[in-house]
Structure 1
């Protein structure tokens, strides 16, 4: 062996490190944090933000020279002890005459920080943020109150002079331009959030806000552009996957609870905010992120679990009184034994938490005692957050979600709905639900607060910072061969796709996920970890198994995770290099959420590979359109993977077929219950859809070998059983009379 080659083998990485071109091609999402978490930026917006920051620095220096202290209320670890002590003394005991002076200075600084509408519009448009007021035009632009004498005249004038606005004019009238959040430091200086909460945000390393944070945080923390009274609106948010929506709704919710604790109503104890998520994995992730932000604030966030009591019911007190009366009068032993488990369940203490994160069914079961009693009310809840709202308001979860919504009876309740995909039916359903709830509570239309929708980028589109590949594999065996080539990143495939672990593989059903996992189980060599590097995750597993698999995957002990759409929404894996759609998704929205598991927080280098076969051709066009739009946003018109001839040749799908695909998936891959009934068509279809690369002849020969082995074993067992009877019987004695 050449010693020079052996010694210089490790130096080959230094060459690629010095070459910028090689470094850019080898960049992966798992290599580290993204330099810029923002997906959409233009030069005009950057100029305005930089100019604003320069003005802030100049004004801060001038104020420091005049007053001897910074106007920004942020931590300064390098200031002198004398100055900090003086600042503490001034802040702790201000004079009465100075209070007005300081308030005037704060108002002046806020006025200097205020942008005019042109600047706000420029920054929001540069980040592709669109804010719309969904209320009626009469509520958005109220007319001045008229006197009794001139009412009749104005009514006639309205009938004669009421101009009919066009659709474009109505859209312009509904547009809102709130002041954007250019830096997380403004959370403390401008919006006066809790100092401890601001420190927790800074400790997490958040410096530059993403688009959704830039637009939603000012709205939820109080912005005068929507309502003059700085009233918090009901909010619908459509933002790309991995853009920081969790932080956007956690910070206002926590700050609202901190203010409530410091107010005069601090005697009220109970659940003040509820966050609803469709899966347990997403709910536990929200709790983990929330615990980092609530540290030291006095706010408690809890994950909903089985057997947890959320609220005290009035009928429970009546039941306890009846039990005491029956015990005093004397009852049978059998009745006492039957009542013991009920008493034990009622003795479970009510959870002492400010924020409750739950799935819909768990909270509905807790409020209705597994649907045996009417829903209990939640009188203290002031914030209701629906994460992945399009799923929660889908027919599968709709009734449960609406039951939770109606059980929150506080008049100051605010609702926020968040997702990467949201249809227009969600807007109509939100409006109708808000009006129904206000009618039940007794609120009038005059007390209705704003309903605002914020959209980042193009609605229902995939993130532009990942690479999409649509690969035709013809058959199921072709898909499995292509997937095995992806497991070997050094080998170039027909589509020139190179994907390195860790990555996710999505299938249509649980049986297909299990079958694919068993097929790929031993493809990774034992030197690299073998079968322990591949795992399968689905809803049939227990909670402990699911949490262990998620923990090992986040640690890097599992490289490839085969799963269903259970992990398609909301779950944040920061180091995922790619996503493989082994089975095409049931809808375009599911595709957006699946591929959004990679390219989180603006990271580049993620790859989304989608295999489709002959049976999938009628359902591919919606996915191809999303890929085409994403590539246009990315600006790679010369390197398009979806050609125009392919879009023109793919068939359109009817509404009926779209609904069937969304409910059941591709028919050919559905779990058939007619196995073994002797139908030739079903048998052929099952053989075609089987996840395996073995031919029919090889499987026939394996079945014959298995049958021969089983037959020989059964013959041996029968001979052993008959052996004792033959020895005892002896020889044949002939016929007897």
Structure 2
């Protein structure tokens, strides 16, 4: 080696850190949204009493060795190990645990988690739950409610009362209900390692959770997993449920509850409801030798993309456990049918009425789904359950029903389908879970009424289990966007202004360097109001990306009119990073997880505040920082924009930004008009009327998205008409000229 070259080698230039921290830069060390300061500042219990050695820097800390390599450590009080004479095993959660370490002739038990505590401390649980902004309340406890009480309530409501007295009594009832709600403070889940030691879940399930990289639970997992899993030691003297009565205590300790969860987008709700389902199915398989045929758990999702994502997560968690998950597809059968029922179900209602009985088509029935977990959209599952007319087959084997994005599934668009599936699950021990980032009070009352009506329809038998309470878990502020997103509300005046603003985002070099404009980098989503507007915007921006960067292959459009194979192909390319800009409708606004998404552009204003929360929640997932949400609005949107401005203001307050740094100032909120309830309903149902489909000269529905002025479009229409007239015969051209000569030269200012 040449020494002179080595001495003359110049040092490497120090690479400057990126100016912007993007969500796609990597996984977040702490996926929690709240309580980060407390968790980061709290010293570790194992190093609390350890002193710094002489000469050791303050920034240096001693790192603990793994248990397999720490040969000279002495077991502490929290990590005591007992000697055993034989090779006996310790049963944990109904399984034989062979994970033991041998040192010489002694067989030692594996170390337990240092944070494991046998004593329930209600004050400490309250502190942890409040620092993470978790509130757990019992909405309805049905233990003492009989049919007579329900009838008395109905009779009181039916009595004629004056408006003033009725209003006063309603307010008094609301206040009394708020006071009567019982708040719970269960022991929170501090790490996923406690699922095995404290709650006794399956060893294979715990291994799959560890392989997926889940170590620190998010807020929704921290609060809901202890409720759904129950406790391995269901002792009656446990103080966790003393305040809610003995009847509720037994169900609480066994995880026998119905749960309604409101948690921010990207907070891990899918994992929170899949882990208890898989663990419950594994415990049922051990206790029963011949399980019931058919699916035992159903998960409903509003879109096929979200349903496919849930199936993938379920397969990862259930790997090697024997629990199968399936996505409901066309032609699949859920229940066993007879030949007559199968032929009737294969036809639509119109075909059954028009076709004679002897000529009715029959087709070979598919095999019944053998998967324990069935994930489906409401319409796909309802078509598989349809018997004749409005009758549907029953699902007695299903004992767990999950409604993901429950506010949409119980909205008038899907309500009838979702409730039909809910009523088809006739198992008395059915447990229901409703999960969403936004949940209105009307949804809560609908859930309570559905639970009441379903329970009253069940036959009263001695084997009928007691009713389960309905528990609500709220994380953070209800119906608010996550605090780690930067919101930009931009007034573009016209449709041409929105298109120019979007083109500036595609060319960030044209933006000013003072940081006043939003800094957004691909990949990102662009949301439009309707499918024609999405296709029109895609055709307008198709050639905006230069060929050196990939050209038109970097922009794609995704909507419900595409085939399932085309939609899955676009989703795969977008996840791989081959597509940088994906233009879509509200099809991808809910539940779909894009971990590397840098931002969201609302080209068209969302139809409601809840739609805005779900749209912008596609970025900043799992605690990642740097997500940017840009919303353009025009003069047509001014009557409806205040709802979105209030959501942005609440999110920035939750983030801790002052009045000077806030995007939404108070003067803007005072200037914007407040929409009425009727306007909100009209906007949610139809959207902005100015952006609905427009028919062109050929009669085709086409949304007008262009930077061309009205004068340029009129000239193009005249040229198009002239070309069409030129193709006609000379006789028609002569008659047209004669008509033109008979008219005056001045035709006015009409185009």
Into which bin does the TM-score normalised by the smaller protein fall? 0.7 to 0.9
1:222 maps onto 2:246 in alignment: no
Counterparts of 1:134-213 in structure 2, within 5 Å, are 134-136=139-141, 139=144, 167=175, 170-171=178-179, 174-213=182-221
- Indicate conservation of the 8 Å contact 2:78/2:114, yes or no: no
- Indicate conservation of the 8 Å contact 2:260/2:433, yes or no: yes
Q: Which residue of 1 aligns with 2:662?
A: 640
The structure-2 alpha-carbon separation of the partners of 1:173 and 1:418, relative to structure 1 and needing over 3 Å to count, comes to closer
Q: Give CA deviations for 1:598-642 in whole Å, capped at 9, x if unaligned.
A: 000010000000000001000000000000010011111131110
CA positional deviation for 1:313: 3.6
Q: Which residue of 2 aligns with 1:458?
A: 477
CA positional deviation for 1:400: 0.5
Q: Which residue of 2 aligns with 1:503?
A: 524
1:388 maps onto 2:382 in alignment: no
1:36 maps onto 2:30 in alignment: yes
Q: Which residue of 2 aligns with 1:660?
A: 682
Q: Give CA deviations for 1:704-734 in whole Å, capped at 9, x if unaligned.
A: 4444455555679x99xxxxxxxxxxxxxxx
The structure-2 alpha-carbon separation of the partners of 1:383 and 1:481, relative to structure 1 and needing over 3 Å to count, comes to same
- Indicate conservation of the 8 Å contact 1:110/1:190, yes or no: no
The structure-2 alpha-carbon separation of the partners of 1:84 and 1:701, relative to structure 1 and needing over 3 Å to count, comes to farther
Q: Normalising by structure 1, what TM-score?
A: 0.79
1:312 maps onto 2:317 in alignment: no
The structure-2 alpha-carbon separation of the partners of 1:288 and 1:42, relative to structure 1 and needing over 3 Å to count, comes to closer
Any idea what SS the aligned residue of 2:31 has? coil
Any idea what SS the aligned residue of 1:668 has? helix
Q: Which residue of 2 aligns with 1:533?
A: 554
CA positional deviation for 1:134: 0.9
The structure-2 alpha-carbon separation of the partners of 1:672 and 1:481, relative to structure 1 and needing over 3 Å to count, comes to closer
Provide structure 1 residue ranges, at least 5 long, that are not aligned to the other structure. 1-9, 18-22, 92-104, 141-163, 321-333, 720-737
The structure-2 alpha-carbon separation of the partners of 1:529 and 1:355, relative to structure 1 and needing over 3 Å to count, comes to same
> Aligned partners of 1:521, 1:565: CA distance in 2, in Å?
21
Any idea what SS the aligned residue of 1:228 has? helix
Q: Which residue of 2 aligns with 1:669?
A: 691
Q: Which residue of 1 aligns with 2:283?
A: 259
Provide structure 2 residue ranges, at least 5 long, that are not aligned to the other structure. 1-10, 50-66, 68-72, 146-171, 235-239, 242-247, 345-354, 734-751
Q: Which residue of 1 aligns with 2:453?
A: 436
1:449 maps onto 2:468 in alignment: yes
CA positional deviation for 1:443: 5.0
1:521 maps onto 2:542 in alignment: yes
Structure 2 counterpart of 1:491, from 507, 510, 524: 510
Q: Which residue of 2 aligns with 1:118?
A: 123
CA positional deviation for 1:438: 1.2
1:421 maps onto 2:438 in alignment: yes
Q: Give CA deviations for 1:666-694 in whole Å, capped at 9, x if unaligned.
A: 11112257x6699xxxx9xx99x831111
1:250 maps onto 2:286 in alignment: no
- Indicate conservation of the 8 Å contact 2:324/2:373, yes or no: yes
Q: Which residue of 2 aligns with 1:284?
A: 308
Counterparts of 1:515-594 in structure 2, within 5 Å, are 515-594=536-615
> Aligned partners of 2:491, 2:451: CA distance in 1, in Å?
46
- Indicate conservation of the 8 Å contact 2:75/2:81, yes or no: no
Any idea what SS the aligned residue of 1:490 has? helix
Q: Which residue of 1 aligns with 2:501?
A: 482
Q: Which residue of 2 aligns with 1:609?
A: 630
> Aligned partners of 2:605, 2:291: CA distance in 1, in Å?
53
- Indicate conservation of the 8 Å contact 1:490/1:498, yes or no: no
Q: Give CA deviations for 1:356-413 in whole Å, capped at 9, x if unaligned.
A: 00000011111015x6361100011010000000000000100110011111111111
- Indicate conservation of the 8 Å contact 1:381/1:408, yes or no: yes
Q: Which residue of 2 aligns with 1:405?
A: 422
Structure with the largest fraction of helix: 1
The structure-2 alpha-carbon separation of the partners of 1:412 and 1:528, relative to structure 1 and needing over 3 Å to count, comes to same
Any idea what SS the aligned residue of 2:492 has? strand
Any idea what SS the aligned residue of 1:16 has? coil
- Indicate conservation of the 8 Å contact 2:428/2:465, yes or no: no
Q: Which residue of 1 aligns with 2:20?
A: 26
- Indicate conservation of the 8 Å contact 2:299/2:375, yes or no: yes
The structure-2 alpha-carbon separation of the partners of 1:522 and 1:165, relative to structure 1 and needing over 3 Å to count, comes to closer
Any idea what SS the aligned residue of 1:467 has? strand
Q: Which residue of 2 aligns with 1:699?
A: 713
Q: Give CA deviations for 1:83-142 in whole Å, capped at 9, x if unaligned.
A: 89957xx99xxxxxxxxxxxxx99x999943331111100000000000001259859xx
The structure-2 alpha-carbon separation of the partners of 1:81 and 1:116, relative to structure 1 and needing over 3 Å to count, comes to closer
- Indicate conservation of the 8 Å contact 1:45/1:127, yes or no: no
Q: Which residue of 1 aligns with 2:673?
A: 651
CA positional deviation for 1:171: 4.0
The structure-2 alpha-carbon separation of the partners of 1:83 and 1:492, relative to structure 1 and needing over 3 Å to count, comes to farther
1:129 maps onto 2:125 in alignment: no
Q: Normalising by structure 2, what TM-score?
A: 0.78
1:690 maps onto 2:704 in alignment: yes
